[in-house]
Structure 1
Amino acid sequence: MRVGFIGLGNVGGKLAGSILRNGFELKVLDLNPLLVESFVAKGATRGDSPKELAEACDVVITCLPSPAACAAVVEGENGILEGIGPGRIWAEMSTTDAKETKRLADLVIAKGAEAIECPVSGGCHRAATGNISIFAGCTRATFEKALPFLTVLGRRVLHTGEIGSASILKVVTNYLATANLVSVAEALVTCKAAGMDLGIAYEAIRISSGTSFVHETEGQVILNGSRDISFTMDLVAKDIGLFQKIAEDNDVPLELSPLLNRIFADGIERYGPRELSPNIIKRLEDATSLSVLAPGFPAEMVDDEPEESGYEVVPNRGAATSGQREAASG
């Protein structure tokens, strides 16, 4: 299978690496020529344009920072629409707006090709090892056709339904992660102010009902001081803004979401849009004159699980545990 990949940033570069590492013929494209050259040095081919990738590849993947960037790549001059046709698949892996994804997918399908939205969740460190989770929105027939490369990109692959469903669920999960991040920041600053040993506080939260994926990952790089999870405040603001819009479009009177949006708007005003997202804790560090740091924590997260073949996660609406569900589908 020939794969084209457009967008080699923090997440896209790691996902494209999984494609290349697993023996697929890979053609890459990015606005940053240095990123392209790094892949060419590893055996990928340099692409000339989105149109050329769509003509030459069985599947062309986009992983871009915004809905506007995706639209430009798909329907702009020399875009994917000018090259794609029957027998080809467009796979959109960005976190984006569900309505916009569906609009672009309809244009691709009108060309006789197939479309799938497949955003990822689980952190950049898992994207690097192919152990990340993938939500896939598309027809069942397209899903089954795409599964061979989706299970290389990720370990757990969930078919969420029609196009648009995966984008909504991805935005929901990013909203929940943001709420976790802000609450972890508040908890750690409060522990510091109360004179707690932060290493012990981290462990207490980790082994308790208060733990979360965000605490166990971002909590560590916060305490290290690097605050580096390869994600920035402007991207958080985009994601939680999309979640707020979904709620407003469906007349849900949220209370926490508007507050989170204001918190990150303030963080961007103080520290800049490209500030690392865990540094939202700096708002409280500045307000209290406290430094929330502890020895023994890593500067970045590394996936210590070996790369494994991916599989489809089949929802089980019974009383089985999550472990049982995954075992049944593995």
Structure 2
Amino acid sequence: MKIGFIGLGNVGGKLAGSLQRNGVDLAVHDLNADFVAAFVARGARDGGSAAALMQDCEAVITCLPSPAACAAVMAEMLPHVGPGKIWMEMSTTDADQIKAHADAVIAAGGEAVDCPVSGGCHRADTGNISIYAGCTRDTFDRVLPVLTHMGRRILHVGDVGVSSTLKVMTNYLATINLLSLCEALTVMKAAGMDLGVTYEAIAASSGNSFVHETESQLILSGSRDVNFTLDLVQKDVGLFQKLADDNNVPLELSPLMISMLTDGQNRYGERAQSDRMIERLEEATGLSITAAGFPTELVDDEPEERGYEVPVRG
């Protein structure tokens, strides 16, 4: 299967790299010509444009930073969609928009898959990230071999749009976990606790989480570079808030998170790294929330394995 990939940024570049590393027939496109050139130098083809990729490839994957970017790319590709063509959306974006684009693709005779990822850029880099796939079962069976080159655990969640809804929820949970860890680490430092010991105490406890095992390390090392920026966090939390509003769920934590994230953006820039949120508390207390022995970047030390479908209970 010839695969086109559009969007070679923080996540997309790593997912496309997994396809290339595993010998997939790959053509790429990005507004940043240097990103494209790097893939071409390693053997990929320059796709030229979104329209050309949909014409030339059986499946085109998009991994884009915003709903607006996705809409622009879809406008280029849609005239060239027909029987045998598959659109695979790996961005984290609005479920309603995904469903609208998918309906247009299906009406033109193509197939659509909503397949965002979860697990961090370091796991995207090794093909060990998790992927949610929303599509028909027949379409899922067709694209599963492609997905298993990019992710370890592949979950078929049902119809198009379900994946994006679930992904927004998981990013909301990751964000609230990050903000609570910032508070926990700062309070422990203020109380005279050793932060290295504090890290291990959390890791060995019921308070442990994926976010702690990853982002807390980058906070404590002082690098604060998780490769995920505050504008993307705000987008995801905002999408979760919109989902709650649309379904008449009165949230209390989400609006507070949005306010805190906005303050972080005002202080450090809209595209500051999300784990710089710790610096709001450092400034408020005069404390340094750092400790020796923690890495400045995350590396996935699990060996790369071909992915597999995750069974659903019940």
What's the counterpart of residue 271 of structure 1?
268
**Alignment of 1:140 onto 2:174:** no
**DSSP-derived class of the 2:236 partner:** helix
What's the counterpart of residue 229 of structure 1?
226
What's the counterpart of residue 253 of structure 1?
250
2:192 maps to which of 191, 195, 220: 195
Distance in structure 2 (CA, Å) of the matches to 1:150 and 1:217: 24
TM-score (normalizing by structure 2)? 0.99
TM-score (normalizing by structure 1)? 0.94
What's the counterpart of residue 313 of structure 2?
316
CA displacement 1:105-160 (0-9 Å, x = unmatched): 11111111100010000010000010000000111111111101011110100011
Indicate conservation of the 8 Å contact 1:53/1:83, yes or no.
no
Counterpart residue identity of residue 7, structure 1: G
What's the counterpart of residue 323 of structure 1?
none
Gaps of 5+ in 2: none
CA displacement 1:224-251 (0-9 Å, x = unmatched): 1111111000100000000000001000
CA displacement 1:136-188 (0-9 Å, x = unmatched): 01111111111010111101000111111000000000000001000010011
What's the counterpart of residue 86 of structure 1?
83
CA RMSD of aligned residues (A): 0.7
Counterpart residue identity of residue 28, structure 1: V
Alignment of 1:56-205 (within 5 A): 56-75=56-75, 79-205=76-202
What's the counterpart of residue 321 of structure 1?
none
Runs of 4+ in structure 1 off by over 6 angstroms are: none
What's the counterpart of residue 32 of structure 1?
32
Identity, in percent, stands at 65
Q: CA deviation at 1:195?
A: 1.1
Between Structure 1 and Structure 2, how many residues are aligned? 314
**DSSP-derived class of the 2:156 partner:** strand
Distance in structure 2 (CA, Å) of the matches to 1:105 and 1:21: 29
**DSSP-derived class of the 1:155 partner:** strand
CA displacement 1:267-302 (0-9 Å, x = unmatched): 111111110000011111111111111110001110
**DSSP-derived class of the 1:38 partner:** helix
Q: CA deviation at 1:9?
A: 0.3
1:262 maps to which of 255, 259, 264: 259
Indicate conservation of the 8 Å contact 1:63/1:94, yes or no.
yes
**Alignment of 1:213 onto 2:207:** no
What's the counterpart of residue 305 of structure 1?
302
CA displacement 1:199-222 (0-9 Å, x = unmatched): 000000000011110000000000
Distance in structure 1 (CA, Å) of the matches to 2:114 and 2:272: 28
**DSSP-derived class of the 1:71 partner:** helix
Counterpart residue identity of residue 287, structure 1: A
Counterpart residue identity of residue 21, structure 1: R
Q: CA deviation at 1:83?
A: 1.9
**DSSP-derived class of the 2:163 partner:** helix
Distance in structure 1 (CA, Å) of the matches to 2:161 and 2:79: 23
